[in-house]
Amino acid sequence: MASLPAEPVQEQTVRRVAIAGNPNCGKSTLFNALTGLRQRVGNYPGVTVERKEGTFFGSHGEPMSLLDLPGSYSLQIRSPDEAVARDVLLGRLPGVARPDVIVAVIDATNLERNLYLVAQMLELQLPLIVALNMVDMAEQSGVLIDVPALSERLGVPVIPMVATRGVGLVALKQALSQTSLPAPQVRAPLPTLLESEAQSLAKRLAVPPEVALPEAFLLLTLHEEALKELAGHSAEVLDAARSAQRTLSDAGLDPMTALVEARYAWIQSVCHASVSKPGDAALSVSDRLDMVLTHRVWGWLAFLGAMGLMFFCIFTVAQVPMDWLDAGCVWLGERVGNLLPESDLRSLIVDGVVAGVGGVVVFLPQILILYFFLGLLEDSGYMARAAFIMDRLMSRVGLHGKSFIPLLGSFACAIPGIMATRTIETRKDRLVTILVAPLMSCSARLPVYALMIAVLIPGASALSKMGIMLGMYALGIVAAFGMAWFFKTRIFKGETPMLLMEMPPYRMPSFKSIALRMLERAGIFLRRAGTVILALSMGLWALMTYPKPENPQASRAEALAQSLGGRMGHMVEPLIAPLGYDWKIGIGLIGSFAAREVFVSTMSTIYNVEKSEEDGIEPLRDTMRSELRADGSPVFTPLVCIGLMVFYVLAMQCVSTLAIVRRETNSWRWPLFQLFYMTSLAYLAALIVYQGGRLLGFQ
């Protein structure tokens, strides 16, 4: 994304605003609407949770810093994401300043559940503004909210909003631009004894006074094992917490139950005074859609239809811009080649840089279409339905539907998919999901699939290509589920967890938000093409060029065979020969370990075909199809092409993913195990395809 603008404003004058709320309440949509391109993504210090922040300008033009906190249902944590949201609001996280004001985004269609987090935030002694989002959908379902009454009961400003359309943004900026934003004076009344014990414990805490009471409430709700593992509090404080828990227990009060019941009793009184619902409401639009989209039969058909439409668009809609990009790369190569004399420098730029990087960049439209569809599924509310549908299948392998959301995200890239496992509560399920997530076909595999399908069936229709592509994605899904079943029954034994998740209402997606995410991913892809893939392409060119043959009249094939890259390919050829691969494919496998899509640029560099603007990608395809072995048989037979696609479905050919797994698991044990099992699985599957196919009489 674009970097934050360098405004000549002193840092201490910038108001720090944090957006908090439940998952699926529209936080990210509001964040994008406020910041636009003035945002950046990183990580919180010391943890692996994604940190998304940006700037926007108040109603008087003053800059403000905006932090999008991870979605959370409560400050009593269940996942790493929720822990970060809590720690930022309490000022616990080193290197992250406590916000000056909180914008609590709540879903107007499910007010009672969303207000629980608001009830906790009212106890934080921070200025609070409630953004009442999706008021249009609440009105459509017959729910009428008296905003002034709700604001009076909560004791804080309440701004009705429709974030997807920008409704309420001006009023929100005006509220945030007020010179003085007082802390809330209203909070849920609690049992007298619980309040007394919490106040007494708060006085012992070595924390700022404004967060002492919320800290005390959290300490009182921790069980003994959690207290033993807790860091940051003295033994005296922990003993005082245990003593307070015993006092409450002797009085028949469970701290967690008492807090939840007291807060919900207050929330019900707030809703009773400010919300009116129809006595006999008809089925909502979401309910009627769910009767079809979550049906045992029609739901599966709708899900498969959505996936099929996505892949069909990847091979039809994306083809035109792909042809433009390819023609542009060819034009650039020809112009640069005409400007430079015959030399190694010309070969490096034309054959190494332009051909290598261009061979990967040409697939950007397909990747953007993939992200567009995933954005539609998420913003429309369908992603949760997909998880619900898949829960019926995933429960059979020991996981639940929540694991499918990271797996579905891994279709785009395994890295954010693995990072999304932080929403899974249990460590075993989180670890199993991390181990199998890279088996889902990510966007980096698309260039490999597209090239091999073109070599396999040069005249295939878009429908045929879609069918083959769906087969590869289905293979990845089956492999992921199969390995999850193996891990859950052999290594991480435990009961299958019950799926408990919110079904958000269907809503019109924010195309601005989707476009911003597509731009973000395009930027990441192009930066990778301009750095990692560029460096690898230049390195591969050097490996394919040097040392030069002693005979200056040697053919291109002879020079390649004598190069350092050729020697490396010949070294691994005995290992991959049973798969039907030759030494040139071996070079591609080695190079693509850094990034799967490098396989395409490697093939472009190895075969060094001449192209014109009208040729498109046909020369590389035709050259690969005409490649012969020493005995005169073709290298890229149907079995080899299919075997290569199967290998790339199952293999761990991505150093970046291994680095993320290392960071998420805080150990090299699991990424190394993942590398071993996925490589072994890929080799075995490709071996079965090639040798099994030959036994059956196929080529």
Q: Can you read off the two tokens belonging to residue 557?
A: 């094939």
What is residue 131's predicted lDDT score, i.e. its pLDDT? 95
pLDDT greater than 80 at residue 581 = yes
- For the chain, domain boundaries: 11-176, 192-252, 283-699
Longest dimension (CA), the chain: 96
The C-alpha torsion from 526 through 528 and 530 to 533, rounded to 10°, is -130
Q: Is the pLDDT of residue 297 over 90?
A: no
Contact yes or no for 483/438 (Cβ under 8 A): no
Fold classified for 11-176: Rossmann fold (3.40.50)
- pLDDT for 12 equals 46
User: Which stretches of 36-78 are DSSP H helices?
Assistant: none
Average pLDDT, the chain: 82
- Residue identified by tokens 């090639």 is 690
Residue 574: is the preceding peptide bond cis (ω within 30°)? no
- Cross-strand partners of 557: none
pLDDT exceeds cutoff 80 at 587: yes
- Least confident interval from 26-35, 82-91, 383-392: 383-392
Q: Is 56 helix (H, G, I), strand (E, B) or coil?
A: strand
Beta bridge partners of 39: 54
* Confidence band of 447 (pLDDT split at 50, 70, 90): confident
Identify the CA nearest to 161 among candidates 21, 337, 299. 21
Q: What is the DSSP annotation of 178-235?
A: -S--PPP-------HHHHHHHHHHHTT--S-HHHHHHHHHHHHT--HHHHHH--SS-H
Q: What is the pLDDT of residue 625?
A: 85
Query: Which DSSP string do the residues of 383-394 spell out, in sequence order?
Result: HHHHHHHHHHHH
At residue 1, the pLDDT reads 41
Pairing, β 275-276 against β 144-145: antiparallel
- Compute the distance between CA of residue 126 and CA of residue 118 in angstroms, rounded to an integer: 12
* Cα–Cα distance, 685 to 647 (Å, whole number): 7
Tokens of 682: 């890929």
Query: Would you put residue 187 in left (φ > 0), alpha (ψ -120 to 50) or beta?
Result: beta
C-alpha 586/C-alpha 573 separation (Å) is 6
Name the pLDDT band for 415 (thresholds 50, 70, 90). Answer: confident
For position 44, what pLDDT does the model report? 61
pLDDT at residue 30 is higher than 80: yes
Q: What pLDDT digit, counting tens, does each position of 639-675 carry?
A: 999 999 999 999 988 877 887 788 778 888 999 999 9
- Rounded to an integer, the average pLDDT of 289-308 is 83
**Average pLDDT over every residue of 533-539:** 76
| Residue 329: count of CB within 10 angstroms of its CB | 20
Is the predicted pLDDT of residue 451 greater than 80, yes or no?
yes
Can you tell me which residue has the tokens 């691994």? 572
How far is Cα 55 from Cα 40, in angstroms, rounded to an integer? 9
**CA distance to 88, 205, 233, 425, 478, per residue, from 219 (Å):** 17, 10, 10, 20, 44
pLDDT above 70: residue 127? yes
Question: What is the reported pLDDT for 25?
Answer: 86
Q: Is the dihedral of CA 476, 480, 485, 486 positive or negative?
A: positive
Instruction: Find, among 22, 18, 221, the residue nearest to 113 by Cα.
Output: 22
What confidence category does residue 230 fall into, taking pLDDT thresholds of 50, 70 and 90? low
Q: Which residues contact 544 (CB under 8 A, 6 or more apart)?
A: 560, 563, 565, 566, 587, 605, 606
pLDDT-derived band at 498, boundaries 50, 70, 90: low
Give which of 691, 682, 683, 603 is closest to 649, Cα–Cα.
682
Span of 134-143, 386-395, 478-487 with lowest mean pLDDT: 386-395
pLDDT in tens, 155-205: 999 999 998 888 999 999 999 998 888 888 888 898 889 989 888 988 888
The answer for residues whose C-beta is within 8 angstroms of residue 22's C-beta and 6 or more apart is 71, 72, 73, 106, 107, 113, 114, 117, 502
